[in-house]
Chain A
Amino acid sequence: QVQLVQSGAEVKKPGASVKVSCKASGYTFTSYGISWVRQAPGQGLEWMGWISAYNGNTNYAQKLQGRVTMTTDTSTSTAYMELRSLRSDDTAVYYCARDQGTNGVCDYWGQGTLVTVSS
C-alpha cells in the first residue's frame, strides 16, 4: 500500500532553517511528483510547491521563492523540503503528498510534521 512517512516535529528559532523528509513506499517513486502543503494553526491549506520525482523539476509558490528548496533522493524514495530564514508565521504542520501530475491532485498524504518557530 502507498505510504508517505514524514520526519518528526521540529522546534526552530527565528532565522534558522528546517528540512523535513518524506519517505515514500508502495509505488514507483519516480512515476509521480510530490507536493508540499502547509497548514498554520487553525488556518487553511497552503500549497508550497511541487517536485517531479522523475527529473527534479520544481514549481514553488511565489511567496516562498528564495526561501524554499525541494529535492528528492530516488535511491531512497525520499523527498525533502527545506525552508530557510524561518519566521514565527512559518509555524505550521507541513504535509507531503503524492501528486498525480502538476495540477495539484494529491491522492496520498503524509502524516504531517509540526514545525514550531519560536525564540
Chain B
Amino acid sequence: SSELTQDPAVSVALGQTVRITCQGDSLRSYYASWYQQKPGQAPVLVIYGKNNRPSGIPDRFSGSSSGNTASLTITGAQAEDEADYYCNSRDSSGNHVVVFGGGTKLTVL
C-alpha cells in the first residue's frame, strides 16, 4: 500500500498529553518522520527515525512505532504546538518513493 492515514483533527487541553497517529503498511518496514506546519509557514521536521529530535525541537515531542502505526506524542502541550502535523515515510512498494499522510490539525484548548 502507498497510503498513510491520519485522523483529520485532534484536540488537547493545555498542558495535557496528546498522541497523533499515522497508519500504513509501509510503517512495518520504515520509520515515519513527523512535520509540524503552522499557517503560512514551511513544514518543520520534529521527529525522525526511531525517536530522534532535530536540534531546537523541545523534548516534549517524541515518536514511537508499533506494527503499522507510528505515533507522535506531545507531553504537556503548549499553545504554540497548535498546528498541522504530517507524517511521511518511504513507500514499501519497492519503488523508492515517499508518501505523506493527509495531516492532523491539532487544536490546543
> Chain A interface (Cβ within 8 Å of chain B)?
35, 37, 44-47, 49-50, 59-62, 95, 97, 100, 102-107, 109-112
Using a CB–CB cutoff of 8 Å, the interface residues on chain B facing chain A are 30-31, 33, 35, 37, 42-45, 48-49, 54, 84, 86, 88-90, 95-103
Write out the residue numbers on chain A whose beta carbons fall within 8 Å of the beta carbon of B90. 102-104
Could you say which residues of chain A place their CB within 8 Å of the CB of B43?
37, 45, 95, 97, 106, 109
Q: Can you show 18 pairs from A to B with CB atoms below 8 A apart? A: A37-B100, A44-B86, A44-B101, A45-B37, A47-B97, A47-B100, A49-B97, A50-B98, A59-B95, A62-B95, A95-B42, A97-B43, A102-B96, A103-B33, A104-B90, A105-B33, A109-B44, A110-B42
Partner of B97, one of A44, A61, A97, A112: A61
Question: A106 to B95, Cβ gap below 8 A?
Answer: no
Q: A105's contact among B49, B97, B102, by CB below 8 Å, is which? A: B49
